[in-house]
Amino acid sequence: METLVAFTVGVMAAGSVYLLLSHNLVRVLFGLILLSNAANFVIFAAGGMTEGLPPLIGLGEKALTGVYSNPLPQALILTAIVISFGLLAFALVLVYRGYQELGTVDSDRMRLAEPPHPDQDIPEPEEPGRLHVRDASRRVENLGSPQS
Amino acid sequence: MLSAILGIFVWSLLAPIVARRLPRIAGWVLAVVPAAATVWFVGFVPEIAAGGTVREVVAWIPGLGVNLSFYLDGLSLTFALLICGIGTLIVVYCGGYLHGDPMLPRFFLFILAFMASMLGVVLADNIVSLIVFWELTSVTSFLLIGYLHDSPQSRRSALQALLVTSMGGLVMMAGLILLGLTGGSFELTELVGQGDMLREHPYYLAILILILAGTFTKSAQFPFHFWLPNAMDAPTPVSAYLHSATMVKAGVYLMARLAPTLGGTEVWTVTLVSFGAVTALLGAILAVRQTDLKRILAYTTITALGQLTMLIGIGNTYAVETFTVYLLAHACYKGALFMGVGAVDHEAGTREVTQLGGLLALMPVTAAAIGLAALSNAGLPPFLGFIGKEFMYSSTVGLGEGEMALLGWLATAAMVASNALMIVTAGLVFVKPFLGRRTEAAGHAHEAPVSLWLGPVVLAGIGLGLGVFNGALERWFVAPVAASLTGAPMDVHVYLWGGFTMPLALSAVTVALGAAMYLGWPRVKAALDGIASALGYDSDRGWDRILKGLVRVALLQTRVIQSGYLRHYIMFTIGFTTLAVGGTMVVKGALVAPSLTAAAGAPYSAWALSLIVLASTVAAVMAESRLVAILSLGVVGVVIALIFLLYGAPDVAITQFMVETLVVIIVALVLARLPRLTAFARPDRRSAVRDGVIAVAFGAVVTAVMLAVIDLPIPLDLSEYFAERSYTEGFGRNVVNVILVDFRAMDTLGEILVVATAGLGAFALLKARPRREPPVGDTKTVGDSKPETGDRS
């Protein structure tokens, strides 16, 4: 089972990194969601996976006995889930407010804090916010004015 | 000893208050504590001369072998006396020299703090405390050199001195730590016993080079000599104290201290002798090219430091004797000369040797002091400097046999030349300004106040006195220092008259040569200037080029790594992690082949759920619709929750269900107000391939790590600990629950704080709407971006 998980989380991690590398901050957010799920899954599998049998002490007993699933990774994941939710919420608001203030979710064009150096050798990406050709017809559809 | 150091540190903090309350006599009052320290150290002289040592240990971080331990033997006592004794005179001198300077209170703080740090360097026995004090001297000397902080020249010199000495100090720290680890102790006194083992050790060369980098920079050895003359931009008391008597000798001190531990090998001797001799000669040549009295003295200091380094390298009986004699001689005459020149500058208003003359009648006391010191500097009998010179020749001539003898003769020749040039400089400093015809600049000079001539007179007097009464010198200083340098007591003899010997002949040659060059000084200077301009090399300008190059590299690196593009930051972080982890695994052979049978043997449910996760991941990555993407991510989360449920983690599963639901709802709500995914151009082929390669590599590393981890037995001791004690100590039947709220309650508190902070941050972001001056619609506020249309569609 754990071997299967190893490959599954590998694919999840690869997918999340691909999303994180996008200059569209919405996709970066997706990458963040995927990455935290992958991380939790890793912690869970690394602690060993046992079917059924949650770590609950039966009535009349004083300690866990017999076969039970490892409680430690579960405690760690519970913390991790909540923290990554907090992180996601903050990042989401940041992107949203950034869009309101700057009118873009393209991280390449958010250069207020670090304006490009006059002779920066890295070329500006070609019109990063450009409409995709296929979408040109749909541009009338305006979702949420940035200053609303 | 700790109390002496701490006492001076505390005194330095009080100094500004004293200086402000008693501006007229601040120098005299503040000199009390250094004077008391001097007296206290003098009290140790008989005990140390009798062969005793004193060690004092205050535990600091004993677990790491770090102690505030101090050690007093011949070497450290001699240095401590120089630091406190000359320090006392300097503090008095400062009061007169900088009288009325509004920043004087601050100056006293710096110089006393420097004194305490320097005392720490020479007394420290523990390597770590030595490094701490060493760096403190670098910092305080930076403040002192940059004292005239409104002068750009002064700031540059201060920065240069700081960079050169602290870079050397960092390298030296590596060397000293390596020494401590190799020798098995961080106490210098204990390392002496490991000398034989260390000299044979494969790390010996590395230790030596690293440590010498620190001592050579601190003691201005070639090729790091250039910072010292620039440091003369500091007020004269600083030059007199730091750059003649004390700080620049810290490097010499450390080499002497380590001589019994690391010295005696061929590489030690050859390195120290050749660098020392070259430095000495170079300093002397550069000195006679100067016309500013202070710069002349600065370069002769380089000569003296080179000679001391050479003597440590030679290490025979004569060299060890000379080391002490010359150390004391130089400290006395150079301190006296600097302070005397400062007095001349103060009274006559210039330090240009060509403009000074006939000061003897106007400043008789200062003249006497400078005269005595200059005679010692020139190495004439019966001064201390004479003994130093004679013995130096004896040591270089007797360096060894074969190739070593050749090195000895080369060193002898270099010493004859540099000592002859020293005679020229002595002439420039004394004969010209005081005996020559009276010049215009000298016209209105008059004798300096007692605070300005006290120091020079006392030091010059000591230089004469120790030369004449050399029996006391031998017993109180030379013998104990020789014992520290060689690690064992030794028989030493110091005398003025050694009969008609080779060294005497060399001395005669030196004096004749020096006198001849002094008489022809303008021609010598012109010739040397010609050679210098023909060579066209200047270390100072070389330094500027190095600094500029460094700044350019930093800029370039910043531009590439910190380009301002978020995705580049992520790319570098992920890429580096991938390479570091993956590379380590490959190098260390930690890759584990997956067990396919184990994977195949997984239950059907696991296969099915895994496949759903994989498919949803791919869908989320490929999705062109926001809704499809967020729903796919939701599916991933829910399936993982199901897996948690199946494998005995109902609490986690419930939390995951709840959070995942919230995420999908909230993100979907916000997404509706953000641009569509299709509003962006698809990444071009090149960047898509690059991102894909990075992503796949990272995924592969995650899988590899995971496979390696599950190959190992799971350490269950913590889990068993919780399983046994949850009910008996935490009174809960749900073990996961008890871990969270009881055993690891502080973690949970931290987690709550993090979430609360994130919530507050998000709230503030949503509420905060700064009023902006240009209208919101003005796209110019977006920095350099072009007017947008695409994003908002």
Contacts of B758 in chain A (CB under 8 A): 86-87, 89-90
In the prediction, which pLDDT does B179 show?
92
Report how far residue B105's alpha carbon sits from residue B84's, in angstroms, rounded to the nearest whole number. 20
CATH architecture label of A2-54+65-115+128-138: Orthogonal Bundle (1.10)
In the prediction, which pLDDT does B558 show?
83
Query: Cβ neighbours of residue B230 under 8 Å, at least 6 residues apart?
Result: B156, B157, B160, B161, B540
Cross-chain Cβ contact A17/B694 below 8 Å: yes
Cross-chain Cβ contact A26/B560 below 8 Å: no
Query: Cβ neighbours of residue B449 under 8 Å, at least 6 residues apart?
Result: B96
Report how far residue B267's alpha carbon sits from residue B106's, in angstroms, rounded to the nearest whole number. 45
Contact B674, A144 (CB under 8 A): yes
Contact A23, A59 (CB under 8 A): no
Contacts of A145 in chain B (CB under 8 A): 792
B682 reaches A (C-beta below 8 A): yes
In tens, the pLDDT along A106-121 reads 888 887 777 776 655 4
With cut-offs at 50, 70 and 90, classify the pLDDT of residue B773.
Answer: low
Out of B599, B644, B678, the one facing A132 most closely (by C-beta) is B678
Of B136-140, B601-605, B666-670, B786-790, the least confident: B786-790
In tens, the pLDDT along B63-84 reads 877 888 899 888 899 999 999 9
What average pLDDT score do residues B623-638 get? 92
Out of A10, A21, A47, the one facing B699 most closely (by C-beta) is A10
Residue of A nearest to B678 (CA): A132
In the prediction, which pLDDT does B537 show?
67
Residue of A nearest to B746 (CA): A79
What average pLDDT score do residues B199-209 get? 91
Segments in B672-739 forming alpha helices (H):
685-711, 717-730, 735-738
What average pLDDT score do residues B262-275 get? 88
For chain B, helix, strand, coil in percent to 5 are 75, 5, 20
Cross-chain Cβ contact B710/A46 below 8 Å: yes
What average pLDDT score do residues B567-586 get? 93
Contacts of B626 in chain A (CB under 8 A): 26
Of A52 and B20, the structure prediction assigns the larger pLDDT to B20
How far from B476 is each of A17, B236, B308, B479, B737, CA to CA, in Å? 73, 31, 20, 7, 75
Cross-chain Cβ contact B754/A117 below 8 Å: no
What average pLDDT score do residues B554-575 get? 87
Our CA angle for B584, B586, B588, nearest 5°, is 65
- A134 pLDDT higher than 60: no
Report how far residue B324's alpha carbon sits from residue A48's, in angstroms, rounded to the nearest whole number. 71
- Please give the ipTM for the structure prediction: 0.81
In the prediction, which pLDDT does A131 show?
38
Contacts of A51 in chain B (CB under 8 A): 603, 646-648
- B652 pLDDT higher than 80: yes
In the prediction, which pLDDT does B379 show?
80
Backbone angles phi, psi at B279, to 5 degrees: -60, -45
Contacts of B740 in chain A (CB under 8 A): 75, 78-79
Of A19 and B435, the structure prediction assigns the larger pLDDT to A19
Rg of the Cα atoms in chain A: 22
In the prediction, which pLDDT does B771 show?
60
- B241 pLDDT higher than 60: yes
Cross-chain Cβ contact B648/A51 below 8 Å: yes
In tens, the pLDDT along B84-96 reads 999 999 998 888 8
Torsion sign, CA atoms B477, B478, B479, B483: positive
Residue of A nearest to B575 (CA): A17
A121 reaches B (C-beta below 8 A): yes
Of B766 and A134, the structure prediction assigns the larger pLDDT to B766
Contacts of A77 in chain B (CB under 8 A): 644, 649, 652
A28 reaches B (C-beta below 8 A): yes
In the prediction, which pLDDT does B536 show?
67
B308 φψ region: left (φ > 0), alpha (ψ -120 to 50), beta (else): alpha
- B453 pLDDT higher than 60: yes
Residue of B nearest to A32 (CA): B633
Query: Cβ neighbours of residue B515 under 8 Å, at least 6 residues apart?
Result: B423
How close is the nearest chain A Cα to the Cα of B628, in Å?
11
Report the run of H or E that residue B422 belongs to, with start and end: helix B403-426
Contact A36, B706 (CB under 8 A): no
How close is the nearest chain B Cα to the Cα of A24, in Å?
7
- Among candidates B257, B320, B333, B311, which has minimal Cα distance to B477? B320
Out of A3, A40, A126, the one facing B598 most closely (by C-beta) is A3
Residue B388 tokens, joined:
């130093």
How close is the nearest chain A Cα to the Cα of B548, in Å?
18
Contacts of A13 in chain B (CB under 8 A): 698-699, 702
**Which residue is it, tokens 């000293």?**
B176
With cut-offs at 50, 70 and 90, classify the pLDDT of residue B781.
Answer: very low
In tens, the pLDDT along B24-65 reads 888 888 888 899 999 999 988 888 888 888 888 888 888 877
> Please, what is the end-to-end C-alpha distance for chain A in angstroms?
50
Q: Would you kindly state where each structural domain of chain A is located, as residue ranges?
A: 2-54+65-115+128-138
In the prediction, which pLDDT does A137 show?
37
With cut-offs at 50, 70 and 90, classify the pLDDT of residue B441.
Answer: low
What average pLDDT score do residues B447-475 get? 82
Of B39 and B498, the structure prediction assigns the larger pLDDT to B39
Residue of B nearest to A31 (CA): B621
In the prediction, which pLDDT does B226 show?
85
Cross-chain Cβ contact A139/B560 below 8 Å: no
In the prediction, which pLDDT does B443 show?
66
What is the length of chain A? 148
Q: Is B575 helix (H, G, I), strand (E, B) or coil?
A: helix
What average pLDDT score do residues B372-384 get? 82
